[in-house]
Amino acid sequence: MGERGGSAGAAGPAGGGGGHRAPSPARGNGGSRRRRGGPPKPEHPSGHGDSAEEPAGDFRCHTVQESLLSSASGFSNYRGVLNWCVVMLVLCNARLFLENLIKYGILVDPIQVVSLFLKDPYSWPSPCLVIGANVFAVAGLELERRLAAGSLSERAGSALRCLNLLSILCFPAAVVLLLPSVTPVGAAFALGIHTVLFLKLFSFHDVNKWCRQRPQNAPKTPQKPPQGGEEARRANGDVAHREVEYPENLSYRNLYYFLLAPTLCYELNFPRSPRLRKRFLLRRLCEMLFFTQLQVGLIQQWMVPTIQNSMKPFRDMDYSRIIERLLKLAVPNHLIWLIFFYWFFHSCLNAGAELLRFGDRQFYRDWWNSESVTYFWQNWNIPVHKWCLRHFYKPMLRRGVGKRTAQAAVFLASAFFHEYLVSVPLRMFRLWAFMGMAAQIPLAWLVSRFLRGHYGNAAVWLSLILGQPVAVLMYVHDYYVLHCNNTG
pTM value is 0.79
Give CA 462 to chain center in angstroms. Answer: 15
pLDDT in tens, 296-351: 888 888 888 888 888 788 777 778 888 888 888 888 889 999 999 999 999 999 99
Our answer to whether residue 418 is catalytic in this structure is yes
Catalytic-labelled residue, pool 418, 454, 477, 483: 418
Pick from 154, 263, 159, 167: nearest CA to 211: 154
**Most trustworthy range by pLDDT among 42-51, 350-359, 447-456:** 350-359
pLDDT in tens, 103-138: 888 888 777 777 776 666 667 888 999 999 999 999
32-36, 210-214, 286-290, 368-372: which range is least confident on average?
32-36
Per-residue pLDDT, 229: 52
Per-residue pLDDT, 358: 94
Pick from 17, 68, 109, 78: nearest CA to 304: 109
Average pLDDT for 230-250: 67
